[in-house]
């Protein structure tokens, strides 16, 4: 509801609002003509932007272009410009003077031309988002959640964040850059202009540098966590920002896009669009969940300044923050992966960066609307952490009042129930993630972010046991950290360059570390933002060619008997796949006969029947299907046709690929290989499931339909 009323009256008030400067001075010369201005011409006619106009006419669009940003903003397109006033630029120069970068607050005081050009680029490139064919951001299109990131990066390749305070009209970018209340949402022929009262200059420091500054200044908040990260030798890893080899190859044009017309492959539901763009970057990222200094002060009984890694390890040992099956040494060799403290802290780290608004994905869970964004049934993600591969669950529901790690509530999950939380025992409540406060943006780096948690996090026996009681449903793109750190997965944008992303062949560059493919595989990720597809989170991974793809699977929490399930939305474009499975990807065994991906639930081989009012009969149908190694789609996933379980979505089926003993300490792989002599039939990946025998074969509480 935040700005909808404002939007309704915007058409009436916009002429006056758009023309008042950040200093609230009105330039009457442009009062009635701004709708026919480009961004460049509008800014040039308003004196309060004169410094910014000078800069944007000096700064090139990129290192490879001679065109300036000013020329770009005078051309056709869809741009969002956060234009700083002269006063904002003056304050920025004063800040640089106070920091000792320049001797006086003016452009003549820079020690070198390189530094001058660099700072000019900071001011200009951070202020503009190029929205390609379709996207420009008015305030009602901004992320709705505090600390949420804009879907598109700015021209400096940085993602801006938004913060709201109690007044719904007060909007801040990157925590403390105010967007003018009266001078925003200015329409131009080629985009939208927002006046800002501070220069946007996001920090370019790495997580390693951020942690180093905490240690150097002894800044409290995450000082204890910083000491542990340093002692465990993780700063070198946290210093990685991007894959420079990939950057060089991309700039040289050696990372090709994929033109699907070469084999007549049509992306259905995509208006015939045929060109899949390769990622521009291969960035690294890290998400750290950390106990705060106030927690450690209370837990250990000493001020944070006096708490060191040895104290934390002693606390972890004394409070059994580990599993009885873990093998470790509680010595001072903290850099060893066999050390207790090292194993404990790496469980706090995910190998990708994720913003606050994408810790979990609310897309098409049953009852959810992308328009209203009202939470309904639980959504959850399962990820493998850094260090020893262990499973971490991130969870949010309507009843949870926030996002949690390893939360295990009691759900109303009967066949006629609604799958909402009924209750949550305190010992299963999990660790609350502080994703909304100002503290989040204070601890963000270019390649990572630190979130505070309110309870200690550990891979204890209780956590492992509770995870094993979950059906572990993982979306296929969650397997690839690069998809998160490089803004590939579920980017909230309808532009085709983000809807269809080409994953380079291994022979070109091994982009997804957890995926191998042969040279005949043409792999594309379909973001499907805005499409009404009944996949988990709507998106899917597809490929054509005589493909052979191998993926690394997430770990299971406990050794035991599990089913591995593969879900398909069947249609005539799909192919026939032979699946292979094993813990040695060079020697894998077939899981059974090839699977025909064109066959949905209705096929006579599945035993499918639509649900009736007789719940016992429905359970018998489910049992019959399981005997044929098939399952209906999940009730929790929905589109306009209803849930994935309903007859309207009977082309959806879950295949039970295997049922066997799985070792929690081993890494397993799944290979998908085409068995057709055709390069036009599709490979399809949506989600997979690990499901323990305790869940699927529980005589007291059968597995739910959700």
pLDDT at 144: 87
Q: What gap in Å lies between CA 296 and CA 217, rounded to an integer?
A: 19
Whether the per-residue pLDDT at 250 is higher than 90: the answer is yes
Establish how many alpha carbons lie within 13 A of residue 608's alpha carbon, considering only the half-sphere containing its beta carbon. 23
pLDDT: which is higher, 495 or 184: 184
213 — pLDDT class (breaks 50, 70, 90): very high
691 DSSP β-pair partners: 563
Q: What gap in Å lies between CA 435 and CA 433, rounded to an integer?
A: 6
Which run of H or E residues covers position 446?
Answer: none
Whether the per-residue pLDDT at 1 is higher than 50: the answer is no
168 — pLDDT class (breaks 50, 70, 90): low
Over residues 555-576, mean pLDDT: 96
* Model pTM score: 0.90
DSSP 548: E
208 — pLDDT class (breaks 50, 70, 90): very high
pLDDT one-digit tens code per residue, 83-110: 999 999 999 999 999 999 999 999 999 9
pLDDT at 13: 34
What's the mean per-residue pLDDT of the chain?
91
Residue 462 three-state SS: helix
Measuring CA to CA, which residue among 52, 35, 217, 219 is closest to residue 121?
Answer: 52
Q: What gap in Å lies between CA 521 and CA 527, rounded to an integer?
A: 19
Whether the per-residue pLDDT at 25 is higher than 60: the answer is no
Q: What gap in Å lies between CA 414 and CA 619, rounded to an integer?
A: 12
33 — pLDDT class (breaks 50, 70, 90): very low
| Topology classification of domain 4-196 | FAS1 domain (2.30.180)
Q: Where are the alpha helices (DSSP H) in 73-179?
A: 86-98, 113-125
Over residues 214-240, mean pLDDT: 97
| CA distances (Å), origin 271, targets 274, 496, 640 | 9, 10, 20
Q: What gap in Å lies between CA 362 and CA 343, rounded to an integer?
A: 31
Over residues 184-195, mean pLDDT: 96
Neighbours of 36 (CB within 10 A): 11
Q: Are the CB atoms for 126 and 100 separated by under 8 Å?
A: no
Q: Are the CB atoms for 173 and 196 separated by under 8 Å?
A: yes
Place of tokens 């996090």: 457
pLDDT at 378: 98
DSSP 150: P
Place of tokens 């993982």: 474
% of the chain with per-residue pLDDT over 90: 81
Q: What gap in Å lies between CA 525 and CA 509, rounded to an integer?
A: 16
The string of DSSP letters for 255-290 reads: S--EEGGGGT---TTTTT--EEBPPS--B--EEEEE
Q: Are the CB atoms for 495 and 359 separated by under 8 Å?
A: no
- Sequence-distant (6+) residues with CB within 8 A of 377 are 365, 366, 367, 368, 397, 398, 418, 419, 420, 636, 706
338 — pLDDT class (breaks 50, 70, 90): very high
pLDDT at 267: 65
Over residues 62-79, mean pLDDT: 91
pLDDT one-digit tens code per residue, 621-636: 999 999 999 999 999 9
Greatest mean pLDDT range, 270-284, 385-399, 435-449, 642-656: 385-399
12 — pLDDT class (breaks 50, 70, 90): very low
pLDDT one-digit tens code per residue, 297-311: 999 999 999 999 999
Whether the per-residue pLDDT at 341 is higher than 80: the answer is yes
Residue 258 backbone phi and psi in degrees, to 5: -120, 120
Assigned token pair, 454: 């309110």
User: Would the CATH topology of 4-196 be identical to that of 206-243+281-459?
Assistant: yes
What's domain 206-243+281-459's architecture? Roll (2.30)
271 — pLDDT class (breaks 50, 70, 90): low
Neighbours of 530 (CB within 10 A): 11
**CA-based R_g, the chain, Å:** 27
Whether the per-residue pLDDT at 30 is higher than 60: the answer is no
Q: Where along the chain do its domains lie?
A: 4-196, 206-243+281-459, 247-280+471-696
Over residues 560-588, mean pLDDT: 96
% of the chain with per-residue pLDDT over 70: 94
pLDDT: which is higher, 599 or 5: 599
272 — pLDDT class (breaks 50, 70, 90): low
Q: What gap in Å lies between CA 506 and CA 703, rounded to an integer?
A: 39
500 DSSP β-pair partners: 526
pLDDT at 134: 81
pLDDT: which is higher, 29 or 216: 216
DSSP 676: S
Three-state secondary structure of 492-537 = CCCCHHHHEEEECCCCCCCCCCCEEECCCCEEEEECCCCCCCCCCC
Q: What gap in Å lies between CA 240 and CA 38, rounded to an integer?
A: 39
CA dihedral sign of residues 401, 404, 409, 413 = positive
| CA distances (Å), origin 44, targets 36, 194, 652, 665 | 14, 15, 56, 63
442 — pLDDT class (breaks 50, 70, 90): confident
SS3 content of the chain, % helix, strand, coil (to 5): 25, 25, 50
């Amino acid at each position: 509801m935040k700005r909808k009323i404002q939007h309704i009256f915007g058409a009436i008030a916009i002429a006056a609002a758009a023309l008042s400067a950040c200093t609230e001075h009105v330039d009457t010369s442009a009062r009635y003509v701004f709708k026919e201005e480009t961004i460049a011409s509008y800014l040039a006619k308003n004196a309060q932007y004169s410094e910014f106009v000078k800069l944007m006419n000096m700064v090139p669009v990129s290192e490879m272009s001679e065109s300036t940003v000013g020329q770009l903003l005078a051309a056709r397109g869809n741009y969002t410009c956060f234009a700083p006033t002269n006063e904002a630029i003056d304050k920025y120069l004063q800040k640089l003077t106070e920091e000792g970068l320049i001797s006086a607050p003016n452009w003549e005081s820079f020690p070198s031309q390189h530094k001058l050009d660099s700072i000019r680029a900071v001011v200009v490139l951070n202020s503009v988002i190029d929205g390609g064919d379709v996207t420009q951001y008015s305030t009602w299109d901004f992320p709705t959640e505090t600390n949420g990131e804009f879907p598109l990066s700015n021209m400096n390749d940085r993602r801006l964040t938004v913060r709201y305070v109690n007044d719904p009209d007060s909007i801040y970018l990157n925590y403390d850059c105010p967007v003018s209340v009266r001078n925003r949402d200015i329409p131009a022929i080629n985009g939208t202009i927002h006046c800002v009262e501070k220069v946007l200059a996001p920090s370019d420091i790495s997580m390693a540098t951020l942690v180093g500054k905490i240690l150097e200044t002894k800044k409290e908040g995450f000082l204890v966590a910083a000491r542990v990260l340093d002692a465990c030798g993780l700063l070198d890893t946290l210093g990685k920002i991007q894959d420079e080899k990939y950057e060089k190859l991309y700039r040289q044009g050696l990372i090709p896009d994929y033109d699907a017309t070469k084999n007549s492959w049509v992306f259905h539901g995509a208006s015939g669009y045929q060109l899949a763009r390769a990622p521009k970057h291969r960035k690294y990222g890290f998400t750290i969940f950390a106990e705060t200094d106030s927690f450690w002060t209370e837990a250990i009984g000493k001020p944070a300044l006096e708490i060191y890694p040895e104290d934390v390890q002693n606390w972890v040992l004394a409070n059994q923050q580990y599993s009885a099956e873990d093998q470790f040494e509680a010595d001072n060799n903290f850099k060893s992966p066999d050390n207790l403290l090292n194993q404990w802290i790496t469980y706090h780290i995910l190998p990708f960066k994720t913003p606050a608004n994408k810790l979990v994905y609310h897309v098409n869970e049953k009852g959810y609307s992308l328009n209203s964004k009202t939470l309904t049934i639980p959504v959850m993600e399962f990820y493998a952490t850094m260090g020893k591969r262990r499973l971490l669950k991130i969870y949010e529901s309507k009843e949870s009042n926030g996002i949690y790690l390893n939360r295990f509530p009691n759900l109303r999950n009967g066949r006629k129930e609604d799958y909402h939380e009924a209750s949550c025992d305190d010992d299963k409540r999990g660790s609350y993630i502080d994703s909304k406060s100002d503290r989040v943006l204070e601890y963000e780096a270019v390649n990572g972010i630190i979130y505070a948690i309110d309870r200690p996090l550990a891979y204890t026996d209780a956590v492992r046991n509770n995870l094993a009681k979950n059906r572990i449903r993982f979306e296929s793109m969650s397997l690839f950290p690069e998809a998160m750190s490089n803004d590939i997965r579920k980017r909230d944008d309808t532009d085709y360059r983000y809807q269809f992303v080409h994953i380079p062949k291994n022979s070109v560059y091994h982009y997804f570390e957890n995926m191998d493919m042969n040279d005949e595989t043409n792999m594309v990720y379909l973001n499907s933002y805005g499409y009404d597809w009944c996949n988990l989170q709507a998106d899917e991974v597809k490929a054509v060619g005589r493909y052979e793809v191998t993926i690394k699977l997430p770990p299971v929490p406990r050794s035991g008997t599990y089913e591995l399930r593969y879900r398909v939305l069947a249609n005539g474009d799909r192919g026939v796949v032979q699946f292979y499975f094993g813990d040695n990807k060079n020697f894998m065994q077939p899981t059974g006969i090839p699977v025909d991906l064109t066959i949905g639930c209705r096929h006579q081989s599945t035993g499918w029947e639509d649900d009736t009012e007789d719940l016992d009969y429905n359970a018998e149908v489910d049992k019959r299907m399981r005997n044929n190694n098939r399952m209906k789609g999940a009730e929790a996933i929905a589109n306009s046709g209803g849930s994935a379980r309903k007859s309207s979505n009977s082309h959806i089926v879950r295949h039970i690929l295997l049922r066997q003993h799985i070792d929690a300490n081993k890494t397993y792989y799944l290979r998908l290989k085409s068995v057709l002599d055709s390069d036009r039939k599709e490979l399809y990946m949506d989600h997979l499931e690990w499901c323990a025998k305790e869940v699927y074969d529980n005589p007291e509480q059968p597995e739910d339909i959700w």
